[in-house]
């Protein structure tokens, strides 16, 4: 595997673990606000991000590339309100999408087609992640602050369960 592609994939592992850590901080915020459904949604999101990191770890191992785990940065943990958290989630997903696109472009440039094929799943996943984050923002804006709408959305988000990715490496 090209050295630059390997480096970018190792960096992506850290970004995915940071994503999990960030989403756990979101979950803690919502739990403290009494919104356990929102908290559940972000706990599930954190589980997904952890698994994304592990998929990349396994991919590198399967390609005999040394996995390098770096320190995970502490996420911001103060927000003004629920909508601020949701918007931070969307911006983070856009950041991750850009990072994966950079890896893909680099792999394509060096004709590492195995890695581009591996990343196809992540590209599709990021489209779903951004759509989900945007949908949450739109729903929160529709219902406004507090009230029955927030309660109902919290109940909806509380029903989300975790399903591990089925990507075959």
Check which CATH number belongs to the domain holding 12 and give it. 1.20.1260.10
Note the pTM of the prediction, 2 decimals. 0.91
Residue 159 confidence (pLDDT): 77
Give domain status of residue 55, yes or no: yes
Range of 13's domain?
3-158
User: How far is the C-alpha of 89 from the C-alpha of 19, rounded, in Å?
Assistant: 9
User: What is the pLDDT at residue 169?
Assistant: 57
User: 25 and 77 in contact (C-beta within 8 Å)?
Assistant: yes
Residue 8 domain flag: yes
Encode pLDDT of 47-71 as tens digits.
999 999 999 999 999 999 999 999 9
pLDDT of residue 154: 82
Mean pLDDT of 3-24: 98
Look up tokens 């507090």; give the residue. Answer: 146
CA atoms within 13 A on the CB side of 29: 23
Tokens describing residue 165 = 């990715």
pLDDT in tens, 73-131: 999 888 889 999 999 999 999 999 999 999 999 999 999 999 999 999 999 999 999 99
């Amino acid at each position: 595997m090209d050295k630059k592609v390997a480096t970018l994939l190792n960096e992506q592992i850290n970004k995915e673990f940071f994503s999990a850590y960030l989403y756990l901080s979101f979950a803690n915020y919502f739990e403290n606000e009494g919104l356990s459904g929102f908290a559940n949604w972000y706990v599930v999101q954190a589980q997904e991000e952890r698994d994304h990191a592990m998929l990349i770890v396994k991919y590198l191992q399967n390609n005999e590339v040394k996995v390098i785990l770096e320190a995970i940065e502490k996420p911001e943990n103060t927000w003004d309100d629920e909508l601020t958290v949701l918007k931070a989630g969307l911006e983070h997903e856009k950041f991750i999408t850009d990072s994966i696109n950079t890896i893909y472009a680099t792999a394509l440039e060096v004709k590492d087609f195995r890695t581009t094929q591996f990343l196809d799943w992540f590209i599709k996943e990021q489209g779903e992640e951004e759509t989900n984050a945007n949908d949450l923002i739109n729903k929160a804006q529709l219902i406004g602050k507090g009230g029955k709408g927030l309660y109902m959305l919290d109940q909806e988000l509380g029903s989300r369960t975790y399903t591990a990715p089925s990507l075959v490496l």
